[in-house]
Amino acid sequence: MTKRYFLKDIPNVGKTASLEEEEHHHLKHVMRKKIDHKIELFDGKGLSAIATIESIEKNHSRLKILSQKKDPKKAYALTLFQALIKPQSIEELIEKVTEIGIDRVVFFPSKHSEIQILSKQKHNRLDTIVLNSCKQSYRNTFLEIQVIPSLKDAMALCQNGVVGSLSQTSTIIPKKDMGIWVGPEGGFTREEEELLLKKYTPFKLHQNVLRAKTAAMCLSSHFEYLLAQTFS
């Protein structure tokens, strides 16, 4: 299995590229790659490439692009709308849903949320987790992360959705653009749930009460598989 490295702009086959900063450091000092070794690159936008190392300098490595592959465009899109939960749980959630393959996570504050905002520093940390998860899972397109100031603002981004429910479920008709809604620890308030169920369909995933991050991971996996089977 070829070690993967992120390169924002991958040149055409036969051209050279420069790997710098953290990616160069990892190649040179952690993986201890040598000249003529082959590595895999990806750009976070669906393009991957195989390159050979031509030189390893102090501050950069020079690569030659041998081949490229562009991922086909997905025929569907799946977004997780997640009420804010503990920062550590958010990190674990982002790692797993990146691997699962959903397209976007939208965070928003709920009345029962343990935090009401996501700092810029934390957002940057989540971007790093997405990058590392893409490397590990061989995903070539970054997970998109958004933070929205309110539940109503988040609802404006979703036309077709399902709401994780403890007590009821309805027939789900898959749509090419779907959202899955998960509350915080303790769940949505009655008012929030009523607002969501006026627009979206309830879905009971499990007979047990799941933690928010567990419910989000399970729903993401279930609907990613369902949409892939339906539209791919």
In angstroms and rounded to an integer, the radius of gyration of the C-alpha atoms of the chain is 20
CA atoms of 209 and 80, how far apart (whole Å):
19
CA geometry: angle 74, 80, 85, nearest 5 deg: 150
Q: Are 149 and 108 in contact (CB under 8 A)?
A: yes
Residue 81: which of 152, 168, 175 has the closest Cα?
A: 152
- The β-bridge relationship of strands 60-70 and 47-56 is antiparallel
8 A C-beta contact, residue 50 and residue 66: yes
The predicted pLDDT at position 185 comes to 93
The reported pLDDT for the residue numbered 25 is: 94
Among candidates 219, 194, 187, which has minimal Cα distance to 80? 219
pLDDT at 195: 96
Which fold, 77-231?
Alpha/beta knot (3.40.1280)
Distance CA(142)–CA(147), nearest Å, equals: 16
CB neighbour list of residue 191: distance below 8 Å, 6 or more residues apart: none
**Residue 161 structure tokens:** 């959705």
pLDDT beneath 50, residues of the chain = 1
Question: Taking the domains of the chain in order of start, what are their residue ranges?
Answer: 4-70, 77-231
pLDDT at 230: 96
Could you read off the pLDDT of 165-183 as tens digits, one per residue?
867 777 888 999 999 999 9
User: How many other β-carbons are positioned within 10 Å of the β-carbon of residue 126?
Assistant: 22
Pairing of strands 47-56, 104-108: unpaired
Greatest alpha-carbon pair distance for the chain in Å reads 62
> H-helix or E-strand containing 193?
helix 190-197
**pLDDT at residue number 166:** 66
- Report residue 174 as tokens: 């898959």
Tell me which fold the domain 4-70 belongs to: Ribosomal Protein L25; Chain P (2.40.240)
Quote the pTM value: 0.93
Q: State pLDDT tens for residues 115-171.
A: 999 898 999 999 999 999 999 999 999 999 999 999 999 999 999 999 988 677 778
**Lookup: tokens for 193:** 């749930």
Burial class (CB in 10 A: 0-12, 13-18, 19+), 139: buried
